[in-house]
Amino acid sequence: MSEMNSAAVLAVRNMSMNFGGLRALSDVDLEVRAGEVVALIGPNGAGKTTFFNCITGIYTPTEGEILATARDGKTHRINGMRTNLVCELGMARTFQNIRLFPSMTALENVMIGRHCRTKEGIFGAIVRGPGTRREEQHVVDTSYHLLQKVGLEQVADEYASNLPYGAQRRLEIARALATEPFLLLLDEPAAGMNPQETLELKEMVIQIRHEFAVSVLLIEHDMKMVMSLSDRIYVMEYGRVISTGTPAEISADPQVIRAYLGEETDA
Amino acid sequence: MASQQLAKNFKQSVVAALWLSFLTMPLMVIRVDTVEKTITWRWMHLLWMLVGSFVLALVWYFLMDRRDRGGANDGNLNTEAAPSRFSIWLNNPRVARPLMAFGLLFAVAFPFLFSMYQTNILISALIYVVLGLGLNITVGLAGLLDLGYVAFYAVGAYAYALLNYHFHLGFWAVLPLGGILGAFFGILLGFPVLRLRGDYLAIVTLGFGEIVRLVLQNWDAFSFGPSGISNIARPGFFGVTYSVSQATTYIYYIMLAFVLLTIFVTARLKDSRIGRAWLALREDEIACQAMGIDNTKAKLLAFAMGATFAGFMGVVFAAKTTFINPASFTFMESAMILAIVVLGGMGSIPGVILGAFLLMLMPEYMRAFSQYRMLLFGATMIVVMVFRPQGLIKARRKIYKVNTKPAGQA
Ligand SMILES: Nc1ncnc2c1ncn2[C@@H]1O[C@H](COP(=O)(O)OP(=O)(O)O)[C@@H](O)[C@H]1O
Ligand SMILES: [Mg+2]
């Protein structure tokens, strides 16, 4: 993949985030280019989830600039943009602690993702004319198609809360894909998965990247997955980016080994 | 295992019985006769209390056990989705269709079969069906706990009463206006509470309901204060004059049509794009917004839609009773409508209908026990909430039909 010379879809410059006296992020620079899989790693509490929350509008960063380039080629400054508008722009995320809609079916969870790409209003819903019915059927079909992509079509009508853990993680990815993102933000997608499931997840991410032409920014602790999946890696510690580069460069950086990989490689 | 459980239940029941008997002893046993200046000790009462509470406690623990074991037995994947045998039976079209046809026929024939008194009671019940279904949108679907729902009902009622009093506007002219005003007030309440959730939302909406009632009570120049407005016109029918009993029948049919319309509208909304957004809002507000749903819009829409039905019902209520005052719009009403929704099953349309009929008709037909009405009401609520926390009829999600031919890409 020609990541090096393609344009940035997400460019974060000098972003800082303070919670009262606590500086959770400080002067973070990060870039994701079209088609790339970029990993964000670092010890617990480094500020990775906070970074996601800042770029998706859940928090407004204290300083800095976040620029996102949507599929139409227009670049937007999205600091403090409303969360739903960030999603509509084309940045969809999953959550570290799974946040599905538990008493809706798996299919409905994915259908929620289609909300911002459809238009049916109150009157359309009540009258349910041919246009509405066509749109509804299209939502159902595309959502089911996405469930097939993540291997959950068998449990389409099962309540989300009844699914096993790994399936819930994949369902979150399908739901995010349903919003037609240009950038997929995955917060520890392999957490709690066994090695076999993690391997399948990796294959799935690779396939999704191809099929949906989507860039991926990934927070993950599983080093094997990160090293084999990502084009580039950012390493964070205490809210700062301490190193960035290709997997080979990162695993050779002494600073990174000390801060984070140390425990992994020694073990 | 089972005998062990039994022994435990037995012991607990003995303790409960002893405790209750001890607590109620001064009331049940000792009688002071202030005229004769004597004290009678009615020990037989203590025995009855002991035996009675012991048996009740034993039955209670037995039911609790059964409930807990029922949950553990089929504890794998499908529990939540698995419908009860009763609901499968009900959902079978060969059962449901004739049942519905019969119900409708009975409802249509009702005014001719029963007295005007009975018809009036049924009209009230139907009004509460619509109110319940309306609140079900706000509370049951969107998960916004609204304790001031009665305010919108009052808005509709006063809109008709005042417009009729000052400008002699008729029922049919004001009816749509009542709905619009309801929606408007729904949005008015919605804006300040956009950021609130759960308990905080409940308190503010409760306050809103009380404010509306207090304004109506105290602003004499506007609303005629506690004495209210009387001689409100009944619904007109192409200028024909009719007797009170004919008017009752007429209003009954208006309400019947309204109930059918409300069921139709809420059922359609529930399984639509908007309805799913409300559900997502209820389930997880942050995830909902992160998936591209505008929370603000969804919330305001839920408040407005719920309030619209209350506005409509207010107009009907004023036309039915021909007299309104603020006493009809107390917090007790909001609590009652909420009880209908919770008892029936949040988000479940048949549940809410059943809840409305139960809570409205039971007290009417239990006038014999009128002293114990509130006691029975409370006991019923507790029993239902313990054994069926999801309500009498649990809301079920729609199973969508998939067109499996490979669809266009997402
Ligand atoms: N809303 C918040 N208020 C205050 N502190 C927060 C908030 N969110 C995160 N933090 C703090 O920011 C730091 C980074 O947390 P987080 O981003 O969750 O780390 P990571 O995802 O890398 O494990 C932690 O010290 C955490 O306590
Ligand atoms: Mg985290």
Q: Specify whether the CB–CB gap between A85 and B270 falls below 8 A.
A: no
Other C-beta atoms within 10 Å of A194: how many?
11
pLDDT at res. A265: 45
Q: Is the pLDDT of residue A263 over 70?
A: no
Q: Is the pLDDT of residue B410 over 80?
A: no
Token pair recorded at residue B288: 């909902």
Whether residue B200 sits in one domain with residue B53? no
Mean pLDDT of A25-54: 94
Whether residue B265 sits in one domain with residue B118? yes
Tell me how far apart the alpha carbons of residues B407 and B301 are, in angstroms, rounded to a whole number: 32
Q: Which residues does chain A have within 8 Å of residue B284's beta carbon, measured at their own beta carbons? A: 99-101
* CA B143 – ligand 2 centroid, Å: 28
Whether residue B104 sits in one domain with residue B45? no
Best CA proximity match to B391, nearest among B329, B347, B354, B345: B345
CB atoms A95 and B289 under 8 Å: no
Q: DSSP character for B402? A: P
Phi and psi torsions of A79, nearest 5°: -55, 125
Average pLDDT, chain A: 90
Angle at B125 between CA B120 and CA B129, to 5 degrees: 145
Provide the whole-model pTM. 0.87
Tell me how far apart the alpha carbons of residues A125 and B267 are, in angstroms, rounded to a whole number: 10
Q: Is the pLDDT of residue B41 over 90?
A: no
Percentage of the residues of chain A whose pLDDT score is greater than 90: 79
Tell me how far apart the alpha carbons of residues A59 and B29 are, in angstroms, rounded to a whole number: 65
* Ligand 1 atom at minimum distance from A22 CA: 5
CB atoms A122 and B269 under 8 Å: yes
pLDDT at res. B155: 95
Q: Is the pLDDT of residue B408 over 70?
A: no
pLDDT in tens, A194-240: 999 999 999 999 999 999 999 999 999 988 899 999 999 999 999 99
Question: Residue A47 contacts by C-beta under 8 Å, 6 or more apart in sequence?
Answer: A17, A24, A25, A28, A236, A238, A239
End-to-end CA, chain B: 55
Q: Is the pLDDT of residue A183 over 90?
A: yes
Q: Specify whether the CB–CB gap between B156 and B182 falls below 8 A.
A: yes
pLDDT in tens, B122-154: 999 999 999 999 999 999 999 999 999 999 999
Mark B96-125 as b/e (b = at least 16 C-beta within 10 Å): eeeeeeeeeeebeebbeeeebeebbbbbbb
Q: Which residues does chain B have within 8 Å of residue A212's beta carbon, measured at their own beta carbons? A: 409-410
* CA B265 – ligand 2 centroid, Å: 43
Chain A contacts in chain B segment 245-264 (CB below 8 A):
264
CB atoms A99 and B284 under 8 Å: yes
User: What one-letter code names the amino acid at B14?
Assistant: V
Sheet holding A37-41, edge to edge: A91-93, A183-187, A215-219, A37-41, A232-237, A240-245
Q: Which residues does chain A have within 8 Å of residue B294's beta carbon, measured at their own beta carbons? A: 82, 84
Interface membership of B75 toward A (CB under 8 Å)? no
pLDDT at res. B87: 67
Tell me how far apart the alpha carbons of residues B161 and B229 are, in angstroms, rounded to a whole number: 7
CA distances from A92 to A42, A86, A141, A187 (A): 22, 8, 20, 11
Whether residue B40 sits in one domain with residue B138? no
pLDDT at res. B328: 92
Of A87, A107, A113, the CB nearest to B400: A107
Mean pLDDT of B295-312: 95
User: What one-letter code names the amino acid at A207?
Assistant: Q
The segment with the largest mean pLDDT, out of B20-34, B200-214, B354-368, is B200-214
Whether residue B150 sits in one domain with residue B36? no
CB pairs under 8 A between A and B: 153
Interface membership of B180 toward A (CB under 8 Å)? no
Helix, coil or strand: residue A218: strand
Confirm whether B60 is domain-assigned.
Answer: yes
The helices-and-strands tally (H runs, E runs) of chain B is 16, 2
Mean pLDDT of B12-17: 89
Distance of CA B372 to the CA centre of its chain: 20
pLDDT at res. A175: 96
Helix, coil or strand: residue A240: strand
Q: pLDDT class for A252, splitting at 50, 70, 90?
A: confident
Mean pLDDT of B212-237: 89
Best CA proximity match to B181, nearest among B319, B312, B334, B269: B312
Token pair recorded at residue B52: 């009675």
B317: left (phi over 0), alpha (psi -120 to 50) or beta: alpha
SS3 track for B198-236: HHHHHHHHHHHHHHHHHHHHHCHHHHCHHHCECCCCCCC
Q: Is the pLDDT of residue B407 over 70?
A: no
Whether residue B276 sits in one domain with residue B216? yes
Tell me how far apart the alpha carbons of residues A169 and A98 are, in angstroms, rounded to a whole number: 7
Neighbours of ion ligand 2 (CB under 5 A): A 49, 96
Whether residue B160 sits in one domain with residue B23? no
Tell me how far apart the alpha carbons of residues B142 and B136 are, in angstroms, rounded to a whole number: 8
pLDDT at res. B28: 81
pLDDT at res. B135: 96
CA of A188, nearest ligand number: 2
Last residue of a domain, one of B73, B102, B130: B73
Better pLDDT: B392 or A173: A173
User: What one-letter code names the amino acid at A43?
Assistant: P
Q: How far is B53 from chain A (nearest CA, A)?
A: 39
Half-sphere exposure of B362 (CA within 13 A, CB side): 16
Token pair recorded at residue B168: 């002699």
**Overall number of domains in chain B:** 2
pLDDT at res. A15: 95
Helix (H) or strand (E) holding A8: strand A8-19
* Ligand 1 atom at minimum distance from A53 CA: 17
Q: How far is A161 from chain B (nearest CA, A)?
A: 9
User: What one-letter code names the amino acid at A189?
Assistant: P
Helix, coil or strand: residue B80: coil
pLDDT in tens, A54-106: 999 999 999 999 999 999 989 999 998 999 999 999 999 999 999 999 999 99
pLDDT at res. B34: 83
Q: Is A139 exposed, middle or buried (0-12, 13-18, 19+ CB in 10 A)?
A: buried
Confirm whether B405 is domain-assigned.
Answer: no
Token pair recorded at residue A82: 């409303």
pLDDT at res. B381: 81
Helix, coil or strand: residue A92: strand
Radius of gyration from C-alpha coordinates of chain B: 25
Whether residue B29 sits in one domain with residue B161? no
Chain A residue with minimal CA distance to B278? A112
Tell me how far apart the alpha carbons of residues A168 and A201 are, in angstroms, rounded to a whole number: 12
Q: Is the pLDDT of residue B93 over 80?
A: no
pLDDT at res. A80: 87
CATH architecture of A1-90+181-267: 3-Layer(aba) Sandwich (3.40)
Last residue of a domain, one of B29, B50, B73: B73
Question: Residue B87 contacts by C-beta under 8 Å, 6 or more apart in sequence?
Answer: B393, B394, B396
pLDDT at res. B83: 59
Confirm whether B392 is domain-assigned.
Answer: no
- A63-72, A163-172, B192-201: which range is least confident on average? B192-201
**Ligand 1 atom 1: residue of nearest CA:** A19
Tell me how far apart the alpha carbons of residues A47 and B153 are, in angstroms, rounded to a whole number: 49
Q: Is the pLDDT of residue A119 over 80?
A: yes
Q: How far is A138 from chain B (nearest CA, A)?
A: 8
Better pLDDT: B2 or A209: A209
Interface membership of B298 toward A (CB under 8 Å)? no
Mean pLDDT of B268-280: 94
Q: pLDDT class for A266, splitting at 50, 70, 90?
A: very low
Whether residue B65 sits in one domain with residue B113? no
Q: Is the pLDDT of residue B390 over 90?
A: no
Whether residue B178 sits in one domain with residue B38? no
Best CA proximity match to B287, nearest among A58, A155, A143, A147: A58
- Ligand 1 pocket, CB under 6 A: A 19, 22, 24, 42, 44-50
Q: Is the pLDDT of residue B39 over 70?
A: yes
pLDDT at res. A231: 94
Q: Domain span at residue B60? A: 7-73
Q: Is the pLDDT of residue B289 over 80?
A: yes
Whether residue B18 sits in one domain with residue B39? yes
Q: How far is A2 from chain B (nearest CA, A)?
A: 24
Q: pLDDT class for B72, splitting at 50, 70, 90?
A: very low
Confirm whether B410 is domain-assigned.
Answer: no
pLDDT in tens, B46-57: 888 888 888 888
Q: What's the complex ipTM?
A: 0.91
CB atoms B291 and A112 under 8 Å: yes
Helix (H) or strand (E) holding A25: strand A22-33
Q: pLDDT class for A267, splitting at 50, 70, 90?
A: very low
End-to-end CA, chain A: 33
Whether residue B65 sits in one domain with residue B40? yes
Tell me how far apart the alpha carbons of residues B245 and B296 are, in angstroms, rounded to a whole number: 46
CA of A44, nearest ligand number: 1
| Domain spans in chain A, listed from the N-terminal domain onward | 1-90+181-267, 101-180
Q: Is the pLDDT of residue B75 over 70?
A: no
Confirm whether B2 is domain-assigned.
Answer: no
pLDDT at res. B195: 85
